Chain A
Amino acid sequence: MHNEIVSHLNSAVPGCNATAVIAEVGDSSIFVDSAHILKVCEDLATGDWEMHTLQVITGTDYEDRIEVSYVLCSFTKNNELILKVKLPKADTNSVPEIDSVCSVWKAADWQERECYDMVGVIFKNHPNLKRILCPEDWEGWPLRKDYVVAEEYHGMKINPEHKINNADHHFFKKIQETQEDPKKVSFSWKGE
């Protein structure tokens, strides 16, 4: 199926440079050029492949790039397709851009907002690109690998000392200090 879609896409959308990654374990996927994502999606949604539905948009952070996966599915043909694009990052703080596919599926609206919120990808021509799960003034992209939790938010300390439950930690530390082999069963409760 994937090879057929790749040859179809390469002829239908010139320059999209589709390549299939056939996996031995798990699911195969198709990579396309990020500049042509809108045309590719329009073709898959309205063309013979009948991908009526966008299930989910997953953004994955790698060291040098962000990969955005569009999981499309067809209820008439009973199959699903993982469509991927690579968005290079110039440096760790850069926010890459890609065209929005909101005009193809309405599901893309919230999925793209979540991807923007969590991974930091700007979807161009999105009608309402705002943070969705985090507050609107949140800083940083939580699902990036190099994300560091801020120390303060609106004057409130994040993870204050007195709210962290250290009881277990202290307990095991104490046991390690007082007993040579904490796992050894001593039967000390049995008395003499």
Chain B
Amino acid sequence: MAIELIENGESIKSDLLTLNMGPQHPATHGVLRVEIKTDSEIVAEAIPHIGYLHRCKEKHSENLDYRGVIPFCDRMDYLAAMSMEWGYALTVEKMLGTEVPRRAEYIRVMVGELQRLASHLMFFGVYAIDLGAFSPFLYAFQKREFILRIFEELSGARLLYNYYWIGGVWNDINDGQLRRIAKFVDEMKTELDKYHTLVGENKIFIDRTANVAKLTPEQIYSYGATGPVMRGSGIKWDLRKDRPYSIYEEFDFDVQVGHGEKGTLGDCWDRYYVRMREMHESIKIIEQCLDGIEEGPVMGKVPKIIKVPEGETYMRTECPRGELGYHLISDGGKTPYRLKVKSSCFTHTSMLGEMAPGQMIADFVATIGSIDIVLGEVDR
């Protein structure tokens, strides 16, 4: 891929330079190392190296009882820990056939959507920092802080909650908290429009993101990308809509897809805008939850010692970053025989090598930001 320059009739050959981006680098969102072969400013090849945050969660799960796995799920995607727990709780409930009370389902949906808001706000702020704008980060963190406060009141922790239990949720929500959430989401509607005007419509931002790192539907299918990355390429697919779990079929919301308004379909700007509009959808769902929440218990009937019957299951849930799948294989004992986690971030990181060639290095930073990876989930 080295360029051959012709100068005064003589050809000058340039060589590729290897550049290590990471593992300690602010633009790689954690401990990701990308080995970039550059030709001056242009990326010829990018090889992601992962594993710096590998804690072998899957091995840990094999030695813990079914309840004990939940805190370990938190530590995968620490920016959307509630969603990680939810997927696991649903997996075990599917095998046990547990009925979750209605109030718990409402709380789960509401907290899950608040978590999506928090996670996308984080994306919004950090993506702006990646592209050189600092102030959006402060706006986003201010609002995210409110959600973390609510979660802290619910679960006692700010980031790693252990809140979704098998059969329901750990703690009930009270009216004061519901009132504050209602006020917050009402504020957020205008705030989000403001954020989008501030960043998304900015000329520099559009120049940096539009037409960068386009992904075609064929690539999406072949790599198995999901979530906002998939929807950014115009594929209308959302597990909450197409295969509703929990009580999502009762809610009215739209699946947002990219249209390629500012550049081509499936570029970084589309992925950014899908997330921004998804936040509006989350707000819609939270408002419907607030209208419909019922009284009742928040924990279903679960045996004291959970023994999952022999068999296997694969459960998919829609997390902020994409589909999370748990493949649980049980031999009838007190611990999972095998618990494999299908992480969307892992899949998206594997696409970096495909997206990078031909880009400028600065655009590559925009690319990493646009797929919104959390290294805890990549390495598990």
Chain A contacts to B: CB under 8 angstroms: 23-27, 29, 52-56, 58, 60, 69, 71, 73, 75, 78, 80, 82, 105-107, 109-110, 114, 118, 132-135, 142-143, 147
Contacts and interface: CB of A to CB of B under 8 A. Distances in A.
A29 to B, nearest CB: 7
Given A55-B342, A60-B329, A142 B221 contact: no
Given A55-B224, A107-B347, 15 more contacts: A60-B329, A69-B312, A78-B243, A82-B312, A82-B314, A105-B223, A105-B224, A106-B222, A106-B223, A106-B350, A132-B50, A133-B380, A143-B56, A143-B58, A147-B59
Contacts of B327: 56, 58, 69, 71, 82
Contacts of B350: 106-107, 109-110
16 contacts: A26-B330, A29-B312, A55-B314, A56-B342, A58-B338, A69-B312, A75-B237, A78-B242, A82-B312, A82-B327, A106-B219, A106-B223, A106-B350, A107-B350, A109-B350, A143-B59
B309 A134 contact: no
A69 B243 CA distance: 22
Residue with the greatest number of chain A CB neighbours at <10 A, chosen from B242, B325, B327 = B327
Contact of B58 (A69, A105, A118): A118
A78 B239 CA distance: 10
Nearest to B49: A132
A23 B97 CA distance: 14
A27 B94 CA distance: 10
B95 A26 contact: yes
Contacts of B313: 26-27
A23 B325 CA distance: 19
A71 B235 contact: no
A107 B218 CA distance: 12
Given A54-B224, A58-B340, A142-B56, A71 B325 contact: yes
A71 to B, nearest CB: 5
B68 interface: no
A134 B58 CA distance: 14
A60 B311 CA distance: 13
Which 4 residue pairs are nearest across A and B when measured between Cβ atoms? A26-B313, A56-B342, A26-B311, A107-B224
A72 to B, nearest CB: 10
Contact of B311 (A25, A69, A80, A135): A25
Given A27-B314, A69-B327, A78-B243, A133 B54 contact: yes
B350 to A, nearest CB: 4
Interface of B: 50-51, 54, 56, 58-59, 94-95, 97, 219, 221-224, 235, 237, 242-243, 309-314, 316, 323, 325, 327-330, 337-338, 340, 342, 346-347, 349-350, 354, 379-380
A25 B311 CA distance: 6
A80 B325 CA distance: 12
B61 to A, nearest CB: 10
B312 A71 contact: no
Contact of A134 (B54, B224, B242): B54
A1 to B, nearest CB: 14
Contacts of A58: 327, 329, 338, 340
B330 to A, nearest CB: 8
Contact of B59 (A71, A82, A109, A142): A142
Contacts of B237: 75
B312 A26 contact: yes
Contacts of A105: 222-224
Nearest to B340: A58
Contacts of B54: 133-134
Contact of A107 (B223, B243, B337, B380): B223
Contacts of A24: 311
B312 A27 contact: yes
A147 B295 CA distance: 49
A24 B311 CA distance: 8
Nearest to B243: A78
A23 B314 CA distance: 13
A53 B224 CA distance: 5
Contacts of A110: 346-347, 349-350
A157 B358 CA distance: 44
A117 B323 CA distance: 23
A75 B329 contact: no
Contact of B51 (A56, A106, A107, A133): A133
Contacts of A134: 51, 54
B221 A25 contact: no
B277 to A, nearest CB: 21
B342 A25 contact: no
B231 to A, nearest CB: 12
B311 A53 contact: no
Nearest to A27: B313
A56 B222 contact: no
Nearest to A71: B314
A55 B224 CA distance: 6
Contacts of A52: 221-222
Nearest to A29: B312
A68 B247 CA distance: 33
Contact of B379 (A73, A106, A133): A133
A143 B50 CA distance: 18
